[in-house]
Structure 1
């Protein structure tokens, strides 16, 4: 068992899995519609590679957040949608997005202060 208590904190494990930008974007895009085909999703998420999308969807599917449906057609058609568990996470993701939008100016200002701290006034050491 790790000394840092990692095994005792399932929240950390889950956040590590779904908290990356590709997982969040997949959840948001899949939550915005009933279902999407792989290439529809890939073209919606700017900058994601085919391999990264495959890995991300597989991870979300393994966690029970995404359902993958393969249709016996030629060529095969594969669609993805959020499960009920994924839908419940979508609400939290949307809330996080709203929080980020509401606080973006304050965070940007704080980052700017770190990048360019105010000049020291004359006489101060």
Structure 2
């Protein structure tokens, strides 16, 4: 299942415009609005990977890191690609109706997915 999902996302990404997100500067005294956080092992150490859908930043242990963002489906699908040392990360965030599902792939393996419900969006994906 995760291989099929990732394979499908890679095909969609190839057809979309790429946005390179440089490392963001955190506002002094303001924590970012984090959408989801996951724990992974990279280089033998536990790391926290978070992202904010609001500003499309990816955070490693609370500090922003550079990523490449692909926004599709009228802004409702978001793919964020990044590296943590030798490891490759991919966050996919999908909004359908009032539900958002966030996936973390790490070295092409699905690590986790998180669902959030009762959003204000009425988005329904286009027929493909």
State the TM-score bracket (shorter-chain normalisation).
under 0.3
Query: Which protein is bigger by CA-based radius of gyration?
Result: 1
**Normalized against structure 1, the TM-score is what?**
0.23
The structure whose residues are more often strand, as a share, is 2
The structure whose residues are more often helix, as a share, is 1
